[in-house]
Amino acid sequence: MPRLALLLTTFIWGATFPATKAVLEQIPPLSFLFLRFFLGALLVGGGFLLWKLRLHREPALLKASTIATCWLFLGYLLQTVGLNYTTASNSAFITALYVIIVPIILRRFDRRVWLATGIATVGLWLLVKPSGSGNLGDVLTLGCAAAFAAHIACLERFTREVDAPSLFAWQMIAMVGLLLPTLLVEQAPAQAFAPTALLLVGLGVTGGLATGAFAIQMWVQRIVPAQQVALIFSSEPAYAAGLSWYFLGETLDTQGWIGGGLILLAVLVGAFGNGSQSSLPPVGKVQPA
């Protein structure tokens, strides 16, 4: 049952890529990010009330939340803006590189980490097809993978030192606060916020279902070994590519599929680096979407 629940969670994470890509046709990226995090914060607040959880406010907790939120904000900013310039499939495959970057940040080097890094580099080169002009979306998404990796590295320490539910809740609140001023900068037209089916479905997937997916992930990671969690989560880019093909009509050429396949292989190799469970980083982006 836990592994089946984690497969469902991974499917939801994968669905957020085409959902975000589609909804950006109506609303600018920063405005959409505000709406999805605002919805996620409301759901988390409702969960705290429903389960009668206490929102802690200790200085150490608030400091940890501030540091983690900086990386989370940067990651989502780069990923969502990047989706304006690249495909949902590319975004998913490149974002998955955080699994490899985490042990590099934490300086947990072994042969598998280096092997995974080499495979991922070749796969990334094939996927993004570098040229003189380059692809801005892929570059931004690579930066997002690094930011998410830094976020996960922070959480590995912070979740053991402070109250984890409160840490997550404060990050949600902080994200809403950080994104609110961006509405003034972006100045999206009123029609961008029209409750169309496209926007409602996008928010339902990224702000609603993905918030529940996070709750499932938190429960499963208390039961299932980290290696198995990593293996299941590595299927996220495949889900995203399949859903992007079905709903958005996105396709990859032969070189793109080979590149994506190599990145997926690198993620699998990297997920099993450092043989013991205790030495593996937490897998998954602590996120509402």
Q: Is residue 248 within 8 Å of residue 27, measured between CB atoms?
A: no
* Averaged pLDDT in 10-residue chunks for the chain of 289 residues: 82 94 96 95 95 95 95 95 92 87 81 84 80 75 93 84 90 95 91 96 95 77 61 80 92 87 84 51 43
The DSSP letter of residue 206 is I
Q: Would you say 289 and 16 are in contact if contact means Cβ atoms under 8 Å apart?
A: yes
pLDDT attached to residue 193: 96
Of 133, 132, 134, 126, nearest in space to 94 by CA: 126
Supply the pLDDT for residue 275.
46
- Tokens at 247, concatenated: 């709903």
Query: In the prediction, which pLDDT does 284 show?
Result: 44
Residue 269 has a pLDDT of: 83
Phi, then psi, of 157 in degrees rounded to 5: -85, -50
pLDDT for 214 equals: 76
